[in-house]
A and B are shown apart, each in its own frame.
Chain A
Amino acid sequence: MSLESTPYPGVSMVWKGKQKLLLTKNLTPGKMFFRELIWDEQGVEYRAFDPRHSKIAAAFAKRIHSCPIQAGSSLLYLGAAHGYTASFLSDIVGKNGVLYCVDMAPRVVRDLYLLCEQRENMQPILADANKPDLYAKRITPVDIIVQDVAARMQVPILFKNLQFLKPKGYVLFSVKARSIDVTKKPSTIFQQVEEQLKDKLKVLEKVDLGPFEKDHVLFLCQKK
């Protein structure tokens, strides 16, 4: 059994019985943080990226066409939480990349801080993504913005943070319909969000994350 390549840079795939595993090469061999599955392939340590725990992994599992994240990318991650997804993205961008991880909840940033200490390319920021001015001086312009915040103001938050994105940069934007309005049909909300996004961005892809995440859609956009 050997690793298969995927369309996504830095991500490999392997069959474990009937289960398909998405793997990234562990940037910090010997250290793991989330009880994730470890895969040893000829002495190289890989970590399994679980689609049920991460929306980006779910997008991979749902075969999004392409992923702009690759070795050396610089990322702004809004809503990093404990850093599960962020740790895998840190594997992908590698030593020459950088990840600015923003979250506003002290409890999760505490975990995030300890994770970032172990990973050279990650930096923690305790701040409200809705108030980007407060952390504007703490980051550099980035190639990609990843946003996963469950807030009603998801789209305005993204627009406020576009100032940090380089021209032609990419956005991976996960939308939770239930945060925006529980009474409306998710499909209506996704359409509205797409319309809003089209004002400022080029929408390249739209992936439904079911059954991994209910009523979630991931948009891949590019700055005009």
Chain B
Amino acid sequence: MKRSSFEVKNLKRNSLKLSYNSEIMDLRILNFEQTRKDLKASFQRDLLAIHTIRTLDLLEAIQEKLLAQLRERFSIYAPLAARSLEEAGFIEAIHHPKEEALSVALRNEDFTVLESYTVLLKELKKEYDHQFAYLNGLLTVLCPRFTALATPLLAGRLLERAGSLQHLACLPSSTIQVLGAEKSLFRHLKTGSKPPRFGVLFQHPSIANATESEKGKTARKLANKLSIAVKQDYFGEKQ
């Protein structure tokens, strides 16, 4: 491989014999001290809310998976009960299995093992409620108006997407409207396809309940109000 000669020359001239001098050692101590201080100062309680919403999403996904598999497993014995009942009724059916036309012969231990499985589900649900209450408490202190308008779950999700309350408060409402629809937004910017009407905002009851043609408009209005609310919460007086 060829290297042009002037570069090599300059490299040599430039390389300093930088033996560890005291100035750099002093800077090292200063830099560590300052970084420690800055890191501690950079903590905001909105980070806790972001982690809690991630925990909630994870708990929900785990519950869904466990429940789906439990249904499949119980359907060996009672295909009808496994398919049709609500979650509470389904759990009840596991504890008191009724024989169906398609029921196969199972032993007692086959049922007891399923019963302990349902205990785990119950615990997960309890933990979910616990985490949710914590999130609600955090958000009501951090951004009361925003949380009241958006519902705690949606407020948490928007916060997660924005990265911090400060960043969220600085976003224009048009960005809040499409948070969570980045893929579709960038496709729109690149190819000129239809822009997204909403991102994670679609979970909000006012949008979920709107008629198809009103969904985009509702999302825009909601995003407007949300952006005002979060700005008030962050920059304005505390409630």
| Residues of A near any B CB (own CB < 8 A) | 7, 63, 65-66, 68, 70-74, 95-98, 100, 106, 109-110, 113, 116-117, 120, 123-127, 138-140, 143, 166, 168-170, 182-183, 204, 222
Contacts and interface: CB of A to CB of B under 8 A. Distances in A.
A95 B11 CA distance: 19
Contacts of A74: 16, 18
Size range of the chain B interface in the assembly? 20 to 34
B10 interface: yes
Given A7-B1, A70-B15, A106-B38, 19 more contacts: A7-B3, A65-B3, A65-B7, A66-B7, A68-B11, A68-B14, A70-B11, A72-B15, A72-B16, A72-B17, A73-B16, A109-B35, A109-B38, A113-B35, A120-B28, A124-B32, A138-B27, A139-B27, A140-B23
Interface in B160-219: 186, 189-190
A168 B42 contact: no
B76 interface: no
Nearest to A116: B32
A46 B50 CA distance: 39
B24 A168 contact: no
Contacts of B10: 168, 222
Contacts of A98: 18, 24
B-side interface mostly? helix
24 contacts: A65-B3, A65-B4, A66-B11, A68-B14, A74-B18, A95-B20, A106-B38, A106-B42, A109-B38, A109-B39, A120-B20, A123-B28, A123-B31, A124-B32, A126-B35, A127-B38, A139-B27, A143-B16, A168-B13, A169-B14, A182-B190, A183-B189, A204-B7, A222-B10
A73 B24 contact: no
Interface of B: 1-4, 7-8, 10-11, 13-20, 23-24, 27-28, 30-32, 34-36, 38-39, 42-43, 186, 189-190
A15 B19 CA distance: 34
